[in-house]
Structure 1
Amino acid sequence: MARYKLHCIGASGNSYKLALYMNCAGLDWEPVGVDFAGGATRDPNWRAGTNAMGEVPVLEVDGQFMSQSGAILVWLAETTGHFAPAADERYEALRWIMFDNHKFTNNHAMHRFQRSFMPEPVHPAILSFLRARTESSFAIADKHLADRAFMLGDRPTIVDFSLAGYVYYPPEETGFDIAADYPALDAWRRRLAALPGWKPPYELMPLGSDLRLMMNRPA
């Protein structure tokens, strides 16, 4: 039985951040499918026993259930030592993880969700707004990576895994061609993909259910 159990779905980029980190770190982990489309995360019993916030991912380790991918990455780095920022990089690491959660991943994920997982076409103005926000956060990261291999310098850290959440889903699903439009971001993405243990999201987490089934249900 694996020590680390990741409650997740394959379509969740926030879940992928943790799955990719643990795989590249060589940790003993396994994915545990959550019936997200079937309403599992809205079930009172699931929330009481797994995550009161009603979200995936959830990391289960030694009987403890942990949520929020950014906080979990920090905890994993501090407890395992893998991909941990140096002591003098801690503020910079937290700064970029917060940027990722608030803008980079958030904007990209929202655009992808509205574009590909809604039961009916979304108003063009909504997609335009979300696309502009995604392009802005992509441009910031692309400029930052123009003169460095990874987000904090010459080696990968938890910051890189945080930003990696949604950048490996297929362009036809996300609506963004990173390889064509963001050269530094794409080069960084390819360096991460060269790490031992790297796998794309749906291969690393081959489970979950069709997100389209959960539309029009109360939160």
Structure 2
Amino acid sequence: MARYRLHCIGASGNSYKLALYMNCAGLDWEPVGVDFAGGQMRDAGWRASTNAMGEVPVLEVDGQFMSQSGAILVWLAETTGKFAPADDQRFEALRWIMFDNHKFTNNHAMHRFQRSFMPEPVHPAILAFLRARSESSFAIVDKHLADRAFMLGEQPTIVDFSLAGYVYYPKEETGFDIATEFPALDAWRKRLAALSGWKPPYELMPVGSDLRTAMRRPV
């Protein structure tokens, strides 16, 4: 059994942040599938044993269960030294990770889920609202990346893995053509994809509920 066990589903970008980090860092890890569509995360027993918040990802390490991708990335960087920000970049790293969780990932993930994984079509006004918020977040990061290779400079850090959560899912799911609409973001995305250990989400986490089919029917 691997030392790091990631409880996840392939469609979870927040899970992908950790899977991609651990794969690129060369850590001994394995994905553990969770039945999201079947309601496993709502089960009282699962919440009691795995995550009281009822969410993935959950990282299991030496019998300890940890949740919240941003906090886990910080912990992994501090305990392994892999992709850790420099000491004088710690505040900047936290600033961008919080922005990612509150705006960049959150807006993109909500738009994608409402657009592609709901059993019934969502009102166009809801999608338009979420798309506008996503575009605003994308524009901020695109501008920031216009004159640097990675989020904190010339080397990738946990900040880059945090923001990478949802940018590699198919545009048919997300509704965004990043390559055309946000060139600096796309160039950064390609640099990250050139790292040893990079794989796309569904290949890196071929486990758990397949939301591409399961969430299109009542559960």
TM bucket (normalised to shorter chain) is over 0.9
Q: Hey, what's the Cα distance between the residues in 2 that align with 1:62 and 1:38?
A: 27
Aligned to 1:198: 198
Aligned to 1:161: 161
Q: Hey, what's the Cα distance between the residues in 2 that align with 1:155 and 1:81?
A: 14
| Shift, 1:145, TM fit | 0.1
| Shift, 1:216, TM fit | 6.1
Q: Say if 2:112 is the partner of 1:112.
A: yes
Q: Hey, what's the Cα distance between the residues in 2 that align with 1:210 and 1:87?
A: 40
Q: Hey, what's the Cα distance between the residues in 1 that align with 2:218 and 2:142?
A: 36
Gaps of 5+ in 2: none
| Shift, 1:213, TM fit | 3.5
Gaps of 5+ in 1: none
Aligned to 1:149: 149
Aligned to 2:136: 136
Q: Say if 2:179 is the partner of 1:179.
A: yes
Look up the equivalent residue of 1:213 and give its one-letter code.
A
| Shift, 1:58, TM fit | 0.1
Q: Hey, what's the Cα distance between the residues in 1 that align with 2:95 and 2:66?
A: 21
Q: Say if 2:125 is the partner of 1:125.
A: yes
Q: Say if 2:31 is the partner of 1:9.
A: no
Q: How does 1:28-39 map to 2 (within 5 A)?
A: 28-39=28-39
Look up the equivalent residue of 1:56 and give its one-letter code.
V
Tell me how large the CA RMSD over aligned residues is.
1.0
- TM-score normalised according to structure 1 size: 0.97
Say if 2:10 and 2:210, in contact at 8 Å, map to a contact too. no
Q: Say if 2:77 is the partner of 1:67.
A: no
| Shift, 1:139, TM fit | 0.1
Look up the equivalent residue of 1:9 and give its one-letter code.
I
Q: Hey, what's the Cα distance between the residues in 2 that align with 1:82 and 1:143?
A: 26
Look up the equivalent residue of 1:136 and give its one-letter code.
S
Q: Hey, what's the Cα distance between the residues in 2 that align with 1:6 and 1:144?
A: 31
| Shift, 1:120, TM fit | 1.0
Aligned to 1:213: 214
Task: After the TM superposition, list the runs of 4 or more consecutive aligned residues in structure 1 that deviate by more than 3 angstroms.
Answer: 212-217
Q: Say if 2:54 is the partner of 1:54.
A: yes
- TM-score normalised according to structure 2 size: 0.97
Aligned to 2:96: 96
Q: Hey, what's the Cα distance between the residues in 1 that align with 2:188 and 2:4?
A: 27
Q: Hey, what's the Cα distance between the residues in 2 that align with 1:131 and 1:40?
A: 30
